Amino acid sequence: MDPVANLSAVEEAPSEDVNRERMDDLREKEATPGPSKYELQQNTQRKSHTFKFHFRNNTYAVTCDTSMTVLEALTTNNIFRNIKKMNTEKEIVIQRSRGEVPRAAVKSDFPCCLIEKDEVLKIKFISNSGNASTEQKPTVENVSKPETLVTFYIHTTGGQKIRRLMKNFDLRQSVDDVCVYAFKEENCKIALKRDGRFINDIFKKNYVLCEMDSETIYEMSNTVEYFDQKHFQIIFNSDNDQSGDLEDFAKTSDADVPESVSQSLNPTKNKLENKKRKYPSPSTECYVLKTIEKSQEILQILRLQNENWWMASMQQKTKSQIQEFFRVEFGKSVQSFSEVKKVKQIMKRSNSVCQIRKGGSSEGTGFLLLGRFILTNAHVVGIYTDQTEANFAEFTAVFDFEDLNSQNCIQIKQLTAFCYGKDSEGRYLDYALLELDTETIFDYPALLDCYRPNAPINRGQICIVGHPGGGVKKMDPCFIIERENRIEAANKHASENQHLIHAMNEKCLEEKWNFSACENQITYNSCFFDKSSGSPVFDVDCNLIGIHTGGYKYKTEGDQTWSVMEYGFSMQPILDNIKARARIKGLKEIVSVIEAYTNVSQQNQNDVEMENAEVSDEL
């Protein structure tokens, strides 16, 4: 037999061992289970997703899937992990670049499926107050379905009577709005509680949500289904009393839901629990008001004691003292910028006031001084010496910021002149003159035109216009504390706040407070604190007399800011310094404009000196 033929026969007919191996492989494949229906569903939901994050001057790409939270997605990036490692003791702030309200800050557990493709998230870190809740991870099943979610926005500054809204005070200083996500079937209170960034007081009675556009009022118990992309401010509403809600009396009410409980993230379970507790048990939830025994007798005794105390205190003061007390207090309450003519003047001049922002965050206030140049404090833009470097491409001047939907942003081009410290004559200055990158300043009046040289800065009424707290434009009429009365005013503040005397003394020694050191200083009691530095100060005739700069502030353990008094600096030394520096730089445009006001000032001073000389000759 042909050997070649025998070889072919061997190749065509596999051996029994080979057949046995093939059968074993086939059985193994059949025994191996395929992906379950749930796994196929999860793989379908976990779609690939990309966005970017910006930290300092660099932008980085992130690839993730929609089932992740923002922090989980960021943590997949090696660079971010290193950044976070260097800021472990701080709280992360994540600001969106898109959405109905740009630059709103989201929580670290914000679902990736709600972030737009290629959206840039700005990352920064602030001090950790220790009050904000830690990150919560929602269930994969729900956060992968954007159709079950809504997002809405809350302004970080509350309405009147609300001193504080956010647990972390630095968060309110860093961002104007926060972005909150929620499931459509849950109410607003549950969503805000889970978010964890708001103080607990807002969940009590009389706090409601006011839509910024329509001013429509929503209670905390409202379902969030129709909140999507709406912008709210939390306000105090005296007409609203939520203390009678059935949910507030139920043992398992949402007021008792911990911020970190993952069950609150499941709307289906919430719905079932709400059905169970729709009607509270009368045996455990009803409360009966009872009359206090002998309450009328006790009330009469207290009234009599109060009347006796009042009469005794009045006898200790003379009639003239009492009249003077009420005259001063009443005068302070009614002597304000209430004349229509003055109100119109202030309103017109307030158009020139702008908010200074860096990278979208408020840094302070400024105002249009002349031409295309705005004036603010040097510390607002972080300029302290000639060696200080600042990237003014990050700064913008925001005019017309009187509500959240109206603003005109103009890029700041460069620093023209500044002084932080004492000038050649020993006067303290803190100013920065900034040039705007525009040729058109619209209809904003230059406030140098309403400057009054040699105006008295030691007495009378004033009005400050600015952006306190980084919020919308506000005005504060107040009274100048005369230089000779500053020590008395400081002692009065200390006597009224004896419980804060330790913090007050500590800050006084640390900063070496001297209430009478600067001749060009204007002191007053104002409600303008943080982010209002750089605001213009007008006198009772609406003339520009100074620039609001700071205050003798101190803080308590609760991080609440107190102030003995606030202060600003008069305009004349600032204008003199600007003119001198502009002349050195050859800025003839500025020199020629300011020259007229400095000449007027010098002429007025010469006239006063000549009048005094003539009087002396006559004597």
pLDDT of residue 464: 94
pLDDT of residue 134: 44
Is 259 within 8 Å of 193 (Cβ atoms)?
yes
Of residues 460 and 612, more confidently modeled: 460
Sheet of 149-155: strands edge to edge?
58-65, 48-55, 120-127, 90-95, 105-106, 177-183, 149-155, 231-236, 207-211, 217-218
389 and 534 in a single domain? The answer is yes
179 and 65 in a single domain? The answer is yes
pLDDT-wise least confident of 48-57, 75-84, 248-257, 261-270: 248-257
pLDDT of residue 322: 47
pLDDT of residue 142: 52
Using the predicted structure, report yes or no on whether residue 418 has a pLDDT greater than 50: yes
pLDDT of residue 538: 93
Q: How many domains does the chain have?
A: 2
pLDDT-wise least confident of 19-33, 131-145, 266-280, 440-454: 266-280
Average pLDDT, the chain: 77
Residue 317 lies in a domain: no
pLDDT-wise least confident of 361-365, 548-552, 600-604: 600-604
β-partners of residue 7 are none
Could you tell me which of 448, 553, 507, 469 has the C-alpha nearest to residue 176? 469
pLDDT of residue 239: 65
pLDDT of residue 315: 53
Residue 327 lies in a domain: no
CATH number for the domain spanning 500: value is: 2.40.10.120
Mean pLDDT value across residues 277-286:
42
265 and 407 in a single domain? The answer is no
pLDDT of residue 268: 43
Residue 541 lies in a domain: yes
* 548/521 Cα distance (integer angstroms): 10
Using the predicted structure, report yes or no on whether residue 332 has a pLDDT greater than 60: no
Using the predicted structure, report yes or no on whether residue 433 has a pLDDT greater than 90: yes
**CA torsion sign, 207 to 212 to 216 to 218?**
negative
How far is Cα of residue 145 from the mean position of the Cα atoms in its chain? 31
Using the predicted structure, report yes or no on whether residue 139 has a pLDDT greater than 60: no
Residue 17 lies in a domain: no
pLDDT-wise least confident of 13-27, 135-149, 165-179, 245-259: 245-259
How far is Cα of residue 270 from the mean position of the Cα atoms in its chain? 33
- Report the share of the chain in percent with pLDDT over 70: 69
pLDDT band at 115 (very low <50, low <70, confident <90, very high): very high
261 and 404 in a single domain? The answer is no
* 110/106 Cα distance (integer angstroms): 6
Residue 133 lies in a domain: yes
* 41/144 Cα distance (integer angstroms): 11
Using the predicted structure, report yes or no on whether residue 32 has a pLDDT greater than 60: no
DSSP symbols for 465-506: EE-GGG-S-EEEEEEB--GGGHHHHHHHHHHHTGGGHHHHHH
270 and 391 in a single domain? The answer is no
- Domain extent at residue 547: 341-576
Each residue of 477-515: pLDDT tens digit?
999 998 888 888 888 888 888 888 888 888 888 888 888
Residue 19 lies in a domain: no
Residue 332 lies in a domain: no
Mean pLDDT value across residues 589-597:
86
529 and 417 in a single domain? The answer is yes
Residue 329 lies in a domain: no
257 and 350 in a single domain? The answer is no
pLDDT of residue 215: 84
271 and 369 in a single domain? The answer is no
Of residues 9 and 167, more confidently modeled: 167
459 and 356 in a single domain? The answer is yes
pLDDT of residue 83: 93
Each residue of 157-191: pLDDT tens digit?
888 778 788 998 888 888 989 999 999 999 999 99
pLDDT-wise least confident of 133-142, 233-242, 469-478: 133-142
DSSP symbols for 63-127: EEETTSBHHHHHHTSHHHHHHHHTTTTEEEEEE-SSSSSTTPEEPTT-BGGGSPTTPEEEEEEEE
Domain end: 249, 276, 303, which one?
276
265 and 353 in a single domain? The answer is no
pLDDT of residue 248: 37
451 and 566 in a single domain? The answer is yes
Mean pLDDT value across residues 287-311:
60
pLDDT band at 25 (very low <50, low <70, confident <90, very high): low
